Structure 1
Amino acid sequence: MNSIILLSVLGLGNLFLGFRRSNRLLLPAAMLILGLVLTVNFIDWNQGPQSFFNDMLVVDNFSIAFTGIVLLTALLLIPFSEKYVLDGEASLAEYYSLLLFSLVGAIMLVSYNHLLMLFLGIETLSIAMYVLAGSDKRNLRSNEAALKYFLMGAFATGILLFGMALVYGATGTFVLRDISFAVQNPVNDSLRPMLYIGMLMMLIGIGFKVSAAPFHFWTPDVYEGTPTFFTAFMSTVVKTAGFAAFLKLLVQAFPAASAQGLWLPTLTAMCVLTLLIGNVGAVAQTSLKRMLAYSSVSHAGYLLIGLVAFNGQLEGASANGIFFYSLAYSIATVAAFGVLQLVANARMREDYNGLNGLAKTNPLLAFVLTIAMLSLAGIPLTGGFFGKFFVFSAAVENGYIGLVVFAVVMSMVSIYYYLRPIIAMYMHDTDETTAALVPVSSFQSGALLLLALLTVVLGVLPGLVSGIL
């Protein structure tokens, strides 16, 4: 709760910094705000569940841990907005404040205990993202991305809200644990079809938010058109918060329905489809940005394995696997998009050929992008390897061996498209458009090195954060 209050108050305060003629104070102010909120977030660790707003919001170790991921991700991403400062972007204060307000929605998603708070969290997060997707107002691709994201997002939110209404009609409550009790002890069996349809519609609504197939069609176009800085935020913070909310809904509201085989078959089918479409789609891409968009879809599939393998509580192997995977994925993705943004700004290209010879002109960028690609591919000694290992282990423990075998095969497919940027950087020569040195500030170099270091530390010493839930 302290995090929500601080982000709301300081986000409003940040808007007033926009009245200054210079933008140079905005970036350090945003980082200071995020650093302060990240520190305050862990004050309540191991203090027991704390309820707010008549038990609509609950702060416990689960919410604190996932809040930590989204705040850390935003903090590590902020240095790559330095271009907006140097260019004198007139709306920079508004951009930073929208990011801070979107984090309020993300924290609601990981802390909710009431379906209305889930809805408020999704809307707070989504509305900010709709605006930021179209922030490059002179770029037609950005305008198209914002329009597509808004229209399809509004449609998905309507389906989610209708599903909540049907679940309320069948159970008589919006509180998660009361819904679980009503599902296990139905008062009227004639209301069960209403409950099942409501559950399915909620699954569709949240599936859209996390880019799970077959509700992923917006992802490549929106990711490609959105300015790269905000695409990175969208593919990490939104996905982490969405899966934390998904896990809470499954474990606390519908565990009985899952045990009865009413929820898990649909989730399993979505998981297989997401893995297949995400990986096969990424193979066919020539744009690094679109490849990362399909990569984001495929990683939603791996996270869905953790949901399929849940063990009925928020402190088990499945929850820990999703937590570790989200952390490792977010760090590697921020690094990948950070390098892509710097290269695209200098070379005006987002395809693989734009990376040609980068190891010779900018060894640091090539090294960091290599670490990020290896982590996303799940190669040992990176955080991504143990992220997949923990999720797969939870699935095997619960008997989903076939699903894990399929996921391993898809991981092998992913190695192909994750190695393509590495091959371009180290084995292809530069040409007229790629011979120039990509400018990188010392501030950004430090952020990139930190991201690479965190990825390797998670791969060498996973026990530092695994098992904390």
Structure 2
Amino acid sequence: MTTLIIIAILPIVLLYLGLFKAQKALLPATIVGLILAMAAAVKQWNSGAFPIYHDMMLFDNFSIAFSVTAIFSTLLILMLSKGYFERISMHVAEYLSIILFSLAGIIVMVSYYNLTMLFIGIEIMSVSLYILAGIDKKNFASNEASLKYFLMGAFSTGFLLFGVALIYGATGTFKLEGIRDWALAHPRGIDPLFHTGIILMIVGLCFKVGAAPFHFWTPDVYEGSPTLITAFMSTVVKTAGFAAFLRLFAVSFGPLADFWMPTLLVITILTLFVGNLTALYQHSFKRMLAFSSISHAGYLLFAIVALSAVSSNAIFVYATAYSIASIAAFGVLILVQQQLGSDSFECFNGLGKRNPFLAAVLTIAMLSLAGIPLTAGFMGKFLMFSGAMARFQIWLVIIAVINAIISIYYYFRVIIVMYFRSAEHDELTVPAYYKVVLAISAVATLVIGIYPAFITNLI
């Protein structure tokens, strides 16, 4: 709870700093606040947590692990923001505050134990993101992204809220344990209210995580939003969405897996093929990352479809690996966009010669996203495939492996142009804080890949 309080108070402090024109103190204060919040979360590890506030919230190891991942990813992203928001507007305090308000909603999402708090957490996060997507007011693409995100987000929230209402109508409770107890007490037959509520909640949550066929907003919103905000949405927000997804289905809907599993299985396979096949045809690096994020949503859904005691650990490892690699990729992309004015693959030509450090970091990130051994991404995919093999026949794993092979093509496309194409631009300048973030991301990716026990048994 201390973590949530710190993150809720920090943006108010930043707004006061902005009011008194303390611009240079904004980013350091944000970094210090996030470190304190992360330390407060770690301090609660193995504290024997139990539901609090009339079973509204639960800060157990599951919540702490995903909270730390979200805070750490946000910390890395904000370290890349030095000088970034100033190019858009002078209201830097407001932008940082909105990101932190969104993070507060994310902490609620990974710590809820009542459907009311799930809805509140999603809304706090989503309203902040609608604003962040459109902060570049002079950019038509940013305005379009904000409007599309708002319309589709409101639409998906309607499905989610309708599902919550139906489940409450059937069970008479919003508590996750109460819903599970009702499901165990009524094992036979299909209750129209309850089962329709489950399907509607699947639709609403799939919208939030960008799973097909509810993914149509994702590429345009990710491409039109400022790249730093896209990095936040594709990593921190997606991680929170899957943590909330898993907690709901593991605690409340587990006894009814035979009902909802076939629906979610179809969504998973469709998400994998749509994300990977569409990414093949992209000419923009940023848009390619947007479609690849859809495919990664498909891999993350494997842990929910093959629900078991290790699903939470699998999603945690995969989400952590994906977030760190994506932050490194987006960090390099921001430098390329700022100094070369484009995000096409041609801008990466000869990067291996122009800037070996950037090329090495981006190579590690692409290898991890592709799931190549000795990277964190390989461990994430290994855990997902292991869970799927334990629950389903081998054909499902074969489908996943085929999609992983497809993804190797477009990830290696970036590596090829960096090392086997002639340089067309001057050397890129890399600020010191970018070097720190990129180095941390690259080292973390390799450490998790080489020593997976470092995080694989946390939850």
Q: TM-score range by the shorter chain?
A: over 0.9
1:453 counterpart (443, 446, 452):
443
Contact 2:88–2:136 (8 Å) recurs in 1: no
Pick from 350, 353, 359 the counterpart of residue 346 of structure 2: 353
Please show how residues 298-377 of structure 1 align to structure 2 within 5 Å.
Answer: 298-311=295-308, 316-377=309-370
Match of 1:277 in 2: 274
- Letter paired with 2:385: F
Give 1:266's aligned residue. Answer: 263
Please tell me whether the aligned partners of residues 183 and 256 of structure 1 are also in contact (alpha carbons under 8 angstroms). yes
The CA deviation at 1:22 is 5.5
Does 2:2 correspond to 1:2?
Answer: yes
Is 1:389 the equivalent of 2:382? yes
Q: Deviations over 1:56-105 (max 9, x none)?
A: 00110110011111011011111211123664831211111111111111
- Look up the equivalent residue of 2:351 and give its one-letter code: L
Q: Distance in 1 between matches of 2:297 and 2:397?
A: 14
Report which stretch shifted further, 172-181 or 24-33.
Answer: 24-33
- Distance between the aligned counterparts of 2:360 and 2:96, measured in 1? 29
Q: How does 1:118-267 map to 2 (within 5 A)?
A: 118-186=118-186, 192-258=191-257, 261-267=258-264
Match for residue 98 of structure 2?
A: 98
Change (3 A) 1:400 1:109: farther
Q: Tell me how far 1:400 sits from its aligned partner.
A: 4.1
Which residue does the alignment assign to 1:107?
107
Question: After the TM superposition, which of the residue ranges 397-406 and 454-463 deviates more from structure 2?
Answer: 397-406
Name the SS for the 1:274 alignment partner.
Answer: helix
**Cα distance in 2, alignment partners of residues 50 and 76 from structure 1:** 31
The secondary structure found in structure 1 opposite 2:247 is: helix
SS at match of 2:83: helix
1:281 positional shift = 0.7
3-state SS of paired residue (1:24): helix
Residues 1-20 of structure 1: pairs in structure 2 closer than 5 A: 1-20=1-20
Counterpart for residue 36 of structure 1: 36
Q: What is the CA–CA distance in structure 2 between the aligned matches of 1:169 and 1:86, rounded to whole Å?
A: 49
1:360 CA drift (Å): 1.6
SS of 1:90's equivalent in the other structure is coil
Alpha-carbon contact 2:80-2:433 (below 8 Å) kept: no
Preserved contact between residue 283 and residue 416 of structure 1 (Cα < 8 Å): yes
The aligned residue for residue 441 of structure 1 is: 431
Deviations 1:391-436 (A, max 9, x none): 11111122342211100010000000001111111111122xxx12
TM-score, structure 1 normalization: 0.96
The alignment partner of 1:53 has SS state of: coil
1:403 aligns to what? 396
Gap regions ≥5 residues in structure 2: none
3-state DSSP of counterpart to 1:51:
coil
Instruction: Look up the SS of the partner of 2:24 in the other structure.
Output: coil
Q: Cα offset for 1:183? A: 1.5
CA shift digits 1:371-406 (9 cap, x unpaired): 000000000110000110011111112234221110
C-alpha distance in 1 between matches for 2:229 and 2:181? 40
One-letter code aligned to 2:420? M
Q: Output one character per residue of 1:266-289: Cα deviation in whole Å (capped at 9) or x when no partner.
A: 110010000000000100111000
Q: Structure 2: how far apart are the matches of 1:84 and 1:338?
A: 11
Distance 1:89 1:29, change over 3 A: farther
Contact 2:336–2:428 (8 Å) recurs in 1: yes
User: Residue in 1 aligned with 2:77?
Assistant: 77
Q: Quote the Cα distance in structure 2 between the aligned partners of 1:403 and 1:331.
A: 27
Cα distance, 1:12 vs structure 2: 0.7
Deviation string, structure 1 residues 145-188 (Cα, Å, up to 9, x no partner): 00000000001001100110011111111101111111221399
* 2:370 matches 1:380: no
Structure-2 separation of matches of 1:394 and 1:188: 27
Please give the alpha-carbon distance, in whole angstroms, between the structure 2 residues aligned to 1:49 and 1:255: 22
Using the alignment, how far apart are the partners of 2:319 and 2:456 within structure 1?
Answer: 12
In structure 1, C-alpha distance between the alignment counterparts of 2:60 and 2:125, rounded to whole Å:
21
**Distance in 2 separating the partners of 1:42 and 1:230:** 26
Q: Which runs of 5+ in 1 are unaligned?
A: none
After superposition, give the CA deviation of every residue in 1:29-58 in whole Å (9 maximum; x if it has no partner): 111111111111111110112333211001
Taking the aligned partners of 2:172 and 2:437, their CA distance within structure 1 comes to 49
